[in-house]
Amino acid sequence: MKIKKLKEIAKDIRLRVIELLYRHKACHLGSCMSAIEILVSLYFGGIMRKKDKFLLSKGWAAAALYSILAKKKIIDWKELLEKYYEPDSKYWGLVHHTVPGIEHSFGSAGHGLPVAIGMALADKKRRIFVLLSDGEMDCGTTWEGALFAAHHKMDNLFVIVDYNKLQAFGRTNKVLNLKPLAKKWKDFNFDVYEIDGHSFSQILKAFKKAFSRKGRPHVIICHTIKGKGVSFAEDKLEWHYFNLDKKLYEKAKRDICRGIN
């Protein structure tokens, strides 16, 4: 698919997320927006084959993944729009496995990588993609998983890091320093890529190269901006938590339609 078309899809997904969050007074706007180009590339950019699996370890970006599944017609958009974040709905604010297209429930940080490793080990012929947040890498499970995956030469495992440099209580490198992040993964014997996570051409190129390399698990470190595309939310910690009032909802839609970058 052409990059122009992928950009159009990304815009549409951002607008859907804004709609869901505004209508249901839900949070995690920043977390969703930083991952849009990554998710669109996986689902619309020809990266995932039929039998491959994707896990959203940063399960609090549920509104973004649900919007993708709705765009793919795996779930019903109208139902999602009505039920997202509502009591007794299956469309939780954290991804839940009762929703079609969701492989596993996540939301408690640090669980996606171990689950992905188990799935990759169980069937070497399918590719497993897992999206981690940078804050999640504070969890010990990340590094135990990394040791294990490299030891078992799991080249069907693709770890993607949404490196937006903000986590729940502050700047990632102030809360617990991750730098130098690429070197750490290299030292764990991963095949490492470091790219702009909002550039479709860089994302697609990195995966193409990773698919050709055998014998090691892969990690694609995506430099991103939390809140990307919404002027008042970009790189702002509070938009992990805040919800949109009518004025900001209108402003967010204008920003996304116009394109602020």
Chain-centre distance for alpha carbon 242: 19
Determine which helix (DSSP H) or strand (DSSP E) holds 163, and give its type and residue range.
strand 157-163
**Residue whose Cβ sits closest to ligand TPP:** 135
Least distance (Å) between residue 18 CB and ligand TPP: 16
Q: How many angstroms separate the CA atoms of 110 and 76, rounded?
A: 29
Question: Which residue's CB is nearer to ligand TPP, number 27 or number 99?
Answer: 27
Least distance (Å) between residue 182 CB and ligand TPP: 17
Single-letter amino acid, residue 177? N
Contacts with ligand TPP, residue ranges (CB under 6 A)? 31, 34, 58, 60, 107-110, 133-136, 162, 164, 166-168, 226, 240
Question: Which residue's CB is nearer to ligand TPP, number 152 or number 196?
Answer: 196
Least distance (Å) between residue 88 CB and ligand TPP: 22
Question: Which residue's CB is nearer to ligand TPP, number 93 or number 156?
Answer: 93
Question: Which residue's CB is nearer to ligand TPP, number 31 or number 156?
Answer: 31
Q: Which 3 state secondary structure label does DSSP give 26?
A: coil
- Which residues 6+ apart lie within 8 Å of 93 measured at CB? 26, 27, 28, 60, 62, 63, 84, 85
Least distance (Å) between residue 109 CB and ligand TPP: 4
Determine which helix (DSSP H) or strand (DSSP E) holds 222, and give its type and residue range.
strand 218-223
